Amino acid sequence: MYALLIITLGLAFLYGILMVSYTYGWRRLKLFVPNRHAYTFNTKVSVIIPARDEEKNLPALLEALQQQSYPANLFEVIVVDDFSEDGTADVVKYFPASNIRLIRMRDHLDATQRLNSYKKKAIELAIAEATGHLIVTTDADCVMGPRWLETIVKFYETYHPRFIAAPVAYYRENSFFRKLQSLDFMTMQGITGSVAYLQTGTMCNGANLAYEKSAFEEVGGFMGIDMIASGDDMLLMYKIYHAYPDGVMYLKSRDAVVRTLPVDNLSAFMHQRIRWSSKADKYEDKRITRVLVLVYVWNVILLLLGVMAIFRPDVRLWLLGMLVYKIVIELVFLAPVAAFFQKRSLLPWFIPGQPFHIIYVVVAGWLGKFGSYEWKGRQVK
């Protein structure tokens, strides 16, 4: 018992250092405020959207792209239809815009040909046909504000990074479950910005990325990571970071935020989180792997203490102390992140969401390593 408590204190100390570093990194990361004066853009952009059965979501995204303040003659939109079984291709085909084009994967691959990562293949096909110097990727179920592309390009033309990770947030958090997802996702976004500033890891989300086409080609694209189902974002990011250590940056700007919807039920949520955790041991960036192991073991210990507290009253005070400690150090980090995303109203839900968060981290981490999950109607090991 005492050994467990000593281990718990050691993990708590390490976790505290981790959260303090994240808080420092996020606060030090400068807000990008682009020049609002007359500006001449010089960068051709290709926006790439992999889509599978997104007939209902695509119209809102395509409309948001047509409302962009960035000059229409300087960007193209390439939608890659990933063997959709609905009207996804027709939505693109008949959308009234001259800078949008469609690629059908069925025109390039045999439908019976099995891949482990259709999304990477979709992006690869689009990049091969892209005319832009800067590749920007987003997901078909996303929307963004009118200054999204303008902000990304101004950031790119100001600092000339090879790879840009940009913010993503949930919206329409109209239920307790959705609020918990938004808090969890927002925490990950804050960590993403923090590690980019501290240069202690490489994190990003494929719903809002930008990278030079030449950088993608120079690192061999997805070669070497194409057998991993997910990882079109973070695994590629590390390849580019490895080639250009000073060329990876995080764009901290509200105008650059991409918004997407949380999932509606626990099953979809777990499949999503299992998919995300499944690539944990595939990272070449072992700094991230070490952090994931620490966070996972910390949550396992908290769950174990929770189970023990049911039968042992003497453990309850320890559990309470650890939970209060966890909540305080995480809220100190999360509060400024929530302010940036204009979601302070969600913070009161952080405490009641703790049991859910601890349990899902433990379960998803385990199943991500040893289980399988469903993604876009496909079963993935």
**Encoding tokens for residue 180?**
């918990």
318 occurs within a structural domain: yes
Same domain for 55 and 22? Answer: no
Is residue 232 helix, strand or coil? coil
pLDDT tens per residue across span 3-53: 888 899 999 999 999 999 999 999 999 999 987 777 889 999 999 999 999
Where is mean pLDDT largest: 1-5, 119-123, 328-332?
A: 328-332
| First-last CA distance in the chain | 37
pLDDT mean over 221-241: 84
pLDDT at 226 exceeding the cut of 80: no
Same domain for 100 and 231? Answer: yes
pLDDT at 295: 95
Same domain for 66 and 90? Answer: yes
pLDDT mean over 285-305: 91
**Encoding tokens for residue 149?**
């592309």
**Whole-angstrom Cα distance, residue 29 to residue 197?**
6
CATH of the domain at 254: 3.90.550.10
Same domain for 212 and 92? Answer: yes
Is residue 307 helix, strand or coil? helix
Burial label, 327 (beta-carbon count in 10 A; 0-12, 13-18, 19+): middle
270 occurs within a structural domain: no
pLDDT at 286: 80
Same domain for 140 and 248? Answer: yes
pLDDT at 379 exceeding the cut of 60: no
What is the β-pairing status of strands 209-212 and 163-165? Answer: antiparallel
Same domain for 21 and 162? Answer: no
Number of separate domains in the chain: 2
218 occurs within a structural domain: yes
pLDDT at 35: 78
**Whole-angstrom Cα distance, residue 355 to residue 376?**
29
pLDDT at 59: 96
Last residue of a domain, one of 262, 277, 307: 262
| Lowest pLDDT segment from 92-96, 211-215, 269-273 | 269-273
pLDDT at 283: 72
Amino acid at 296: Y
Q: How far is CA 209 from CA 78, 124, 140, in A?
A: 15, 15, 14
Angle, helices 313-340 vs 2-28, to 10°: value is 10
pLDDT tens per residue across span 343-366: 999 999 999 999 999 999 999 888
18 occurs within a structural domain: yes
Same domain for 90 and 149? Answer: yes
pLDDT at 160 exceeding the cut of 70: yes
Residues near 286 by Cβ (< 8 Å), separated by ≥ 6?
Answer: none
195 occurs within a structural domain: no
pLDDT at 276: 79
**Encoding tokens for residue 63?**
């409309």
pLDDT mean over 59-65: 97
Average pLDDT, the chain: 91
Same domain for 51 and 22? Answer: no
- Give the bridge partners for 100, in sequence order: 77
Last residue of a domain, one of 195, 228, 262: 262
pLDDT at 113 exceeding the cut of 80: no
**Encoding tokens for residue 215?**
């950088």
Element (H, E) at 295: helix 286-311
**Encoding tokens for residue 202?**
């490489």
Full residue range of the structural domain in which residue 214 is found? 31-167+208-262
DSSP 229: S
Percentage of residues in the chain with pLDDT exceeding 70?
93
pLDDT at 366: 86
pLDDT mean over 95-121: 85
pTM reported for the whole predicted model: 0.91
Same domain for 219 and 327? Answer: no
The residue with tokens 């599978």 is: 52
Same domain for 64 and 122? Answer: yes
**Encoding tokens for residue 58?**
């695509």
Angle 297-302-304 from CA coordinates, rounded to 5°: 90
Half-sphere exposure of 87 (CA within 13 A, CB side): 9
Query: Cα torsion at 23, 25, 27, 29 (round to 10°)?
Result: -160
101 occurs within a structural domain: yes
DSSP 377: T
Same domain for 101 and 215? Answer: yes
Contact (Cβ atoms closer than 8 angstroms) between residue 243 and residue 219: yes
Query: Cα torsion at 305, 310, 313, 319 (round to 10°)?
Result: 30
236 occurs within a structural domain: yes
**Whole-angstrom Cα distance, residue 271 to residue 8?**
29
pLDDT at 172: 92
Confidence of residue 228 (pLDDT cuts 50, 70, 90): confident
Same domain for 215 and 129? Answer: yes
96 occurs within a structural domain: yes
Confidence of residue 225 (pLDDT cuts 50, 70, 90): confident
